[in-house]
Structures are given as structure tokens and as C-alpha cells.
A and B are shown apart, each in its own frame.
Chain A
Amino acid sequence: MSKVKVARKSTLIDMTAMSDVTVLLLTFFMLTSTFVKKEPVQVATPASVSEIKIPETNIMQILIDPTGKVFMSLDKQADMVETLNKVSGELGMSFTPEEVKIFRIQKTFGVPMKSMKAYLALKPEKQDEILKEYGIPTDSTDNQFKTWVKCARATNPDLRIAIKADSKTPYKVIKDVMNSLQDLRENRYNLITSLKKESAN
């Protein structure tokens, strides 16, 4: 009898401790996590020894891919809407409330204004696919990038500009972006880099 009882008890593993640990871990991850933002292009940032961390809020990120396409993202949805309204006002366009609603939830945008309406009408899966093909025009004849930055700044004066570019991006593109920013007297900005593995010396 006693033997059988012992055998039965041994099958029951006390999971309470295990559960405690997992809940703790879960809480940790939930509190510390910042979700990975979906970006239209994969960008490998160059490494640097700089150890300044980027602030979390009020960031306007400028994403530049190796071929020189420029995308932008703002971290607040309210700013996105306001900025879109300002930009469309400046370029003499108007968007329906539905289109604004779709734009609001975009993680990253980078479509020339003349294709914006057609783009917003697409299904979300299609949008992700097609966004890679676009990019905000930065050339001197039609510098919509400048307009976007100007309007975003007007919307939120505390905005910090962060440039995230691929390490293989030609300097020419960076120069165009930097020149546009300089023209707007945005002389302070951050360059996003990854941490260098080797030590400084």
C-alpha cells in the first residue's frame, strides 16, 4: 500500500515554483519591452563606440536604405495626423477622414504625395509590399522631405531627429538629407549606430 502511494505522489511535480519563476520573467519582459518597429527596409547600421542611448519619445526617425530611399516615422499617432494635415495643406491636397485614419496607424511612411492617395487605398499587406518601392523625394526640384520635416517640427517642437542609415549608403544621399535639414536650421540631430564589439584601443 505505502509503496503504491509513494509512487503516485512522485508523479505530481509541484509546478508552483516554476509558475512563480515564469510569471516573474513574464512581468520583466512586459515591463522592459519595447516592440520592434516594422521597417520597410532592412538597415544595418554602422558600429560606433558612442554609448549614448536614444530617448524613447518625441523621435522623428529618418530611415535611409542603401539605394538612397528615404522613409520617415514619428512615434506619436496624433503627430502623424497633424503632420499629414499640414503637409497636404502646403501642397494643396486634401484627404478624407478614412484616409487619415489609415495613415494614422502607419508605422513608417515614405510615399510621394502624388501617390499617397492610391497608396492609402491599398490593403495593409499590399502597402508593406509596395512601400519598399517608394521613398520620399529629396531632390532639389521636389523636396518633399523638407516639407515633411518642417511640418513635423511645426507640429511638435520637442521633436528630436534621428538618422538611421545603412552602412553602405553612399555619402551623396546622406549629404542631401543633411543639407535639407541644414536649410531648415535643424542643426542638431542624432545618428543611430550599433555598439562596436571591439574596444576603443
Chain B
Amino acid sequence: MAELQTNEGGGKKKGGGSKQKKMSVHVDFTPMVDMNMLLITFFMLCTSLSKPQTMEINMPSNDDKIKTEDRTKVKESQAITLVLSGGDSIFYYTGKPDYNDHNSLKLSSYKASGIRSLLMSRNTEAVSKIDVLKQKKLELKISQKDFTEQVAELKNGKNTPVVIVKASDRATYKNLIDALDEMQICNIGKYVIDKIGPAEFALLKNKKDALKQGNPAK
């Protein structure tokens, strides 16, 4: 503002005028910058830049009207049931368990060496094929659309395992997400969240009692 006033005062001389004109071009931007910085700070603090991730799941219908013969049947040899229990423990059995023998229920863990290696070993065919596809995609040999289509096809292929996740009441939400996460990592397309039945519950209890007594039967 002060600069503008000097401009008006000495605008008669040609040489001096040109000099003062140069001065008048200088508008002081400092307050402007101050204000902008304040606004930026405000926006930075008040916004969430990253959108939350999400997992999409499809649950089976609860409809009782579906006849038993219409329900999807699972081959016993392909079924793996994960039982999530309290205290971050996870058990699994394959096929149908022997409800009288707690040894059919096996203890595992959420670590990479635990349930992941088991599922990977059951799903080697699909995993290796998907790895090849991923490599192809990296080399831009196939389009994104083809890639997703083929991955979906492989995931739901004939010989892929079917995983049933059963969680007891004492398991946490994190356990459930971890278990579902393993499905993604191990490229398992067919999995379902089911309710834990009384028979499984009893089996789980027996198994836990056995573990407590210090004879972890394998």
C-alpha cells in the first residue's frame, strides 16, 4: 500500500517514473502466503487422504426354503474347516472329523508357517498358475480384464480346496479378518463363514482340555 502512495507522489519525471513503476509492481504477498499456509494446515489436519480398504464377502442365504438337495455340496477331500477360537488360537480339520476323537482337530497358528502353508500346499496348482499369470501381467502380455477373468476362473477351478471358517464366540474380529486374509493370500476362491455347531464345539473343548493336560497329541 505504501508503494502505491509513492507512485502517485513522484510521477512527473520520466526517468524517476520508470523506476517507481518497477517498485509498484512489487505487491507484498506475505500475508497471502500466511493465509494460504493456514488454510493448508487446516485441510491437512481435517482430511483423511487414504480411503479405507475393504474386503468384499458374500454370505450364504439364511433362507430355510432352500431344499437340502439344492445346497452346494462339498467334496470331503477338498474341504478344510478352520475353527477360530479364543486367545488367537486356530484349529483345523480336513474333510469330516471324528467327533469322538479330538486328535482329528489339529492346532495351527496365524503365522505364515501355520495355516498359510497348509492352504498353500492344498492349493498349489491354482497358486502356481496365478503366479504365472501375475508375471505375464507384469510383462504387459495380458490386459487387466483378462487377468481378473482368468484368476477368477482358476480360483474357482475344480480341484481347489473349499474352506469353511467357523468361529467360536470367543474369537475376535481380527481373527476372522486374518482368516479371510489367508484366503486372499492363498488364492482360494471358495470359502464360507459358517456357524459353529455343538458337535464341533464339544470337539474343540476336548481338544483344549487335552492340550491343557500337556499331551499335545498330533
Contact = CB atoms under 8 A, between A and B. Distances in A.
Contact of A50 (B54, B61, B195): B54
Interface string B102-117: 0000000000100000
Nearest to B43: A29
Contacts of A22: 33, 36-37, 40
Given A185-B61, A187-B58, A189-B57, A54 B174 contact: no
B48 A168 contact: no
Interface in B125-165: none
A19 B40 CA distance: 12
Given A33-B46, A36-B48, A170-B172, A185 B63 contact: yes
Contact of B169 (A19, A51, A172, A192): A172
Q: Which of A23, A33, A48, A51 has the most CB of B within 10 A?
A: A48
Interface in A60-90: 64
Interface stretch (A97-105, A107-115, A139-147, A193-201): A193-201
B135 to A, nearest CB: 15
Interface in A169-195: 169-172, 174-175, 178-179, 181-183, 185, 187-195
Nearest to B29: A15
Contacts of A33: 43, 46-47, 49
Given A167-B174, A169-B172, A170-B172, A190 B56 contact: yes
A50 B53 contact: yes
B184 interface: yes
B64 to A, nearest CB: 11
Given A26-B43, A48-B180, A192-B52, A15 B32 contact: yes
Interface residues of B, number: 51
A26 B40 contact: yes
Interface residues of A, number: 59
Nearest to B3: A12
A192 B54 contact: yes
B178 interface: yes
B130 to A, nearest CB: 12
Contact of A167 (B60, B168, B177): B177
A172 B167 CA distance: 9
A171 B43 contact: no
B177 A15 contact: no
A69 to B, nearest CB: 14
A198 B16 CA distance: 68
A45 interface: yes
Nearest to B52: A192
Contacts of B176: 171, 174
Contact of B58 (A52, A167, A188): A188
B54 A171 contact: no
B46 A165 contact: no
Nearest to A45: B52
B71 interface: no
Contacts of A118: none
B62 A182 contact: yes
Nearest to A201: B112
Contact of A178 (B47, B59, B112, B181): B59
Given A56-B51, A172-B170, 13 more contacts: A15-B33, A26-B36, A29-B47, A35-B47, A36-B46, A45-B52, A51-B53, A52-B53, A166-B173, A182-B59, A187-B58, A189-B59, A192-B53
Nearest first, the 5 closest Cβ-Cβ pairs linking A and B are: A15-B29, A33-B47, A22-B36, A167-B174, A29-B43
10 contacts: A15-B28, A15-B32, A33-B46, A46-B173, A46-B178, A48-B55, A52-B53, A167-B177, A187-B60, A191-B57
